[in-house]
Structure 1
Amino acid sequence: MEKIRHQLFLPRPLSDRLEALAAKPGATKSAILVDALTAWLNRRGASELEDRFSIRLDRMTRSIGRVEADTHVMLETLALFIRFELAIQTPLAENDQAGRALGAKRFEAFVTQVGRHVASGRRTLGSEDGQ
């Protein structure tokens, strides 16, 4: 690997510390400076990546927050609707087989319709025709 010579001017305290590190066996000033400069540049590169992606990550965080809030509203709406339905619907008599059969048929139709909507990607809320 080709090496290029650089002339550096260091403050006295920093120069003294470099001399002390280079005095240890197997250490050279060049190797210490190469390691230090490499580490500094790597941190700088990581910072640039963070700066580059932080705006996008912030936007995604806000979007996830909105989805979470929307989901909470939908679940609360569903819970209140179920409570309302249970409060106004009279329970079927134990021997009302026709009513139970009709309820089971309506429930099966509901589950089938939900399955079709989910499979096709259609949405009831937010669609123009409500279907």
Structure 2
Amino acid sequence: MKKAKITAYVDAALFDEIDALAARRRVPKTQIIEAALASFLSPDAAEKSEAAIVRRLDRLTRSLERLERDQEITTEALALFVRFWLTTTPPLPDETYSAAKAKGKERYGGFVQALARKLGKNRTLAKELVEIVNVGSKP
């Protein structure tokens, strides 16, 4: 095949990369430049790039859907707890208020410690609920 000569100026760093790649692969720099130009000018190069972007967007979409599901579970669990607590907890008499406040502070500290342990083990409520639902739905 007949070859035509091209003279082009490239950035020195790019030239060094081409030179290093040619040395590693033990091929002439011309062969590397021809392959790069062929790839750039290939009509399906844009399609490959688009397909890669679509795959990445699909992964991001699935990840966002999982986050949304987990957020919904969290919101519903909190709402159910608050509704239950508000409907079943009687108001405190004034004389027991300070003792109840101290006990609440102690319990809250225990809650925060338990939460830290649970998150440290990577065993979240959302994961447990998904496992429970999956086990319950199998025949």
**Of the two, which has the highest radius of gyration?**
1
> Which band: TM-score by shorter chain?
0.5 to 0.7
In structure 2, distance between residues paired with 1:94 and 1:41: 81
1:35-90, Cα deviation, whole Å (9 max, x unpaired): xx99x838853431121342343133123213212311221221121122112111
- 1:90 to 1:42, Cα distance in 2 relative to 1, 3 A: farther
Q: State the Cα RMSD in Å.
A: 3.1
1:91-126, Cα deviation, whole Å (9 max, x unpaired): 222321332222221111111111222234233454
Higher helix content, 1 or 2: 2
Q: Is the 8 A contact 1:117 1:123 kept in 2?
A: yes
Q: Which amino acid letter does the alignment assign opposite residue 94 of structure 1?
A: D
Partner residue, 2:109: 108
Partner residue, 1:58: 58
In structure 2, distance between residues paired with 1:78 and 1:58: 30
User: Percent identical across equivalent pairs?
Assistant: 36
**Unaligned residue ranges in structure 2 (runs of 5+):** 6-36, 132-139
Partner residue, 1:91: 91
**Unaligned residue ranges in structure 1 (runs of 5+):** 6-36
In structure 2, distance between residues paired with 1:84 and 1:59: 38
| Residue pairs, 1:1-131, within 5 angstroms | 4=4, 41=41, 44-96=44-96, 97-127=98-128
> How many equivalent residue pairs?
94
Q: Which has the higher contact order (CA 8 A, sep 6+)?
A: 2
The two structures have a TM-score, normalised by structure 2, of 0.51
In structure 2, distance between residues paired with 1:53 and 1:111: 41
Single out whichever of 42-51 and 91-100 deviates more from structure 2.
Answer: 42-51
SS in 2 for 1:68: helix
